[in-house]
Amino acid sequence: MGKPSVSVCSAVSATEAFSVYVHAPFCARRCVYCDFAVTVQSEGDLDGWVQGLRSEIALIEQENLFVLADQLETLYVGGGTPSLLGPKAMSKLAGVIGSQRLTSQDLEWTAEANPESFSSEVAEEWRAVGVNRISLGAQTFDAAALRWMGRLHGVEGPIKAIEGARGCGIENVSIDLIFGLPIHIGRSWEDDLRRVIDLDVPHISIYGLTVEPGTHLGQEVRQGREPAVDEDQYRKEFLMAAEALTASGYRHYEVSNFARPGFESRHNTAYWSGNPYLGLGNSAHSFAPPVRRWNLHSWEHYRAAVGASKSPEADREILDESASRLERVWLDLRTIDGIPRPVEGTPQDRLARDWIERGLAAWIGDRCVLTPEGWLMLDQLAVEYETSALG
């Protein structure tokens, strides 16, 4: 279960959290590829969720590692399927977080939703309490692919959900799509891109299929009933998306994310900028530099811990100087901001010029920014760059 959390920062003032992530673990069905911290049930346990979060915040206030800012800048409710918690979920959450913290005109309050549980009533009540951004898990518009994944919404589900959001005044809608699905399904990635472009949403996120060992898909691949991810197809579809979406006016501002100008995710940008953030709920991560910690993965274990007034923290790490440098390079390279231009003649400068010659990066002002080809090699290039800095 949870273990007592003794803050390494107890001798100094607590880190002020302007960005908060809240995990809602409930899903009506687990997708074949999903290894997220979800618990499957037909309805979300709203009362249990609210009580768990309230108890965790009380524990956090005792630890002196974090303190919630008087005015949050971003609040992100992810999952799982937050929309499975129903219309009252966000007003209940506001009561836990503190409604006075959610009054800034600049607050970005995102809530994830699946099309089948994002009704007009949910949209209206969420909007009324302050939610102003919806992240919609569409994944695909292909019926066969939806069945293969185990998704519950039909082909028209995302369209109806977007109409519901717009109908109550939420224009800031993000759509998630997944690429790299097995060829035998017959899904046309090109058609999915065309359809999402036609919806004219301001933000699109694309994620490549990965085969995780503990998932149903992982078992199917091990037993030879499903193919492993085709790396050539993965590369081709990622580059196709980058070309099609940028040609349609979207800014490819991070490896997986595209936005109309001004609609970039401010919450995720806080992560990539290395800013502190607080995570609440099972499996949620928090960062108070140099401390990163994460909560118990299981909803049942998390709920039992906080219910007994015990910290739900599963573990933590303290980033040393080397790990912090590598992480900073990796975070910088994953965004359109890139890394600062290296000093001429240094090993880093020679490496950056090599990337540019190979089409993996480009100079944008005084920054070295990866191209989509380079982003496909992000992990490798970040390690190369940090290694070159060590001589």
Q: What is the DSSP string of 166-195?
A: HHTT---EEEEEEE---GGG---HHHHHHH
For the segment 38-90, what is each residue's pLDDT rounded down to a tens digit? Answer: 999 989 999 999 999 999 999 999 988 899 999 999 999 999 999 999 999 99
Q: What are the extents of the domains in the chain?
A: 15-272, 320-391
For the segment 347-387, what is each residue's pLDDT rounded down to a tens digit? Answer: 999 999 999 999 999 999 999 999 999 999 999 999 999 99
Determine the length of the chain: 391
Residue 113 has pLDDT above 50, yes or no: yes
For the segment 11-26, what is each residue's pLDDT rounded down to a tens digit? Answer: 458 999 999 999 999 9
Separation CA 48–CA 113 (nearest Å): 19
Separation CA 348–CA 389 (nearest Å): 6
* Strand order from edge to edge, sheet including 313-318: 285-288, 291-295, 313-318
Q: Domain 15-272 is classified in which CATH homologous superfamily?
A: Aldolase class I (3.20.20.70)
Parallel/antiparallel/unpaired status of strands 39-40 and 26-27? parallel
Q: pLDDT-derived band of residue 2, with 50, 70 and 90 as boundaries? A: very low
Residue 179 pairs in a beta bridge with 208
For the segment 277-322, what is each residue's pLDDT rounded down to a tens digit? Answer: 999 999 999 999 999 999 999 999 999 999 999 999 999 999 999 9
Residue 6 has pLDDT above 50, yes or no: no
Q: What are 380's two structure tokens?
A: 């490798």
Element (H, E) at 322: helix 321-333
Average pLDDT of the segment spanning 181-197 = 97
Q: What is the pLDDT of residue 389?
A: 78
Q: What is the pLDDT of residue 145?
A: 97
Residue that has been written with the tokens 């990796």 in this structure: 330
pTM of the model: 0.94
Q: What are 179's two structure tokens?
A: 């690429």
For the segment 234-246, what is each residue's pLDDT rounded down to a tens digit? Answer: 999 999 999 999 9
